[in-house]
Amino acid sequence: MSIEADIDSSIVYKTMINFEQIKGKQGVPMRFTPTTIPAVIVIEPKVSADERGFFLESYQKQRFSEAGIPFDFVQDNHSKSEQGVLRGLHYQIQQPQGKLVRVIAGEIFDVAVDIRKNSPTFGKWVGDFLSAENRKMLWVSPGFAHGFYVTSPTAEVLYKATGYYAPQWERTIAWNDPVINIDWHLNGVTPILSSKDKAGKFLDEAEVFE
């Protein structure tokens, strides 16, 4: 099933162009690396550290815009999860959200799935380990389902969202969809799921974006 949503397909192209423009600049305090799905970007901030601790910029509007992420963020969220918890795969079919995800304690394996029906990467996924140590962030564009698995004893996740939470439009795709076939790095562990996530639909039954 598909449903129209207000997603600008030009964002993917703009992301690639602007990354080429900025990646060679010296002194840029963030590195933006498109994944194999260019609308999902790994962001690595420059960290200034000494015996007192460290400082980093986690967001700067102009730099993000130059890197192809021109969105305004309207909501910040903070979650804490125990080891083995898997959250996802979540999205809002109307009022879609882009998410900037980072970890301030512990480690997660963070995943984005392209559910834009007309995308050449529809049904494909990308993932990366985000941790308090590596300080990586993941930009997940609108039009994607998002989820993560906690690999450390606990993890605290912060994410900025481009749209307000709208529970009436929230949808869940099954974490274990056999067609998407995500490698969650479970290492034989059965993940801990909410009742909502246990009821997630397979991709061929889910509402997706045009």
The answer to whether the CB of 21 falls within 8 A of the CB of 66 is yes
- Rounded Cα distance between 157 and 77, Å, is 8
Which of 91, 159, 164, 185 is catalytic? The answer is 159
- The active-site residue, picked from 13, 59, 90, 164, is 90
Alpha-carbon span 81 to 159, nearest angstrom: 14
Place of tokens 């999902």: 40
7: nearest Cα among 175, 167, 162: 162
Q: Which helix (H) or strand (E) holds 142?
A: none
d(CA 7, CA 65): 17
95 and 163 in contact (C-beta within 8 Å)?
yes
CA distance 151 to 172: 21
| Cβ pair 117, 167 in contact under 8 A | no
Amino acid at 82: E
Q: Is 90 a catalytic residue?
A: yes
- Which sequence positions are flagged as catalytic? 90, 159
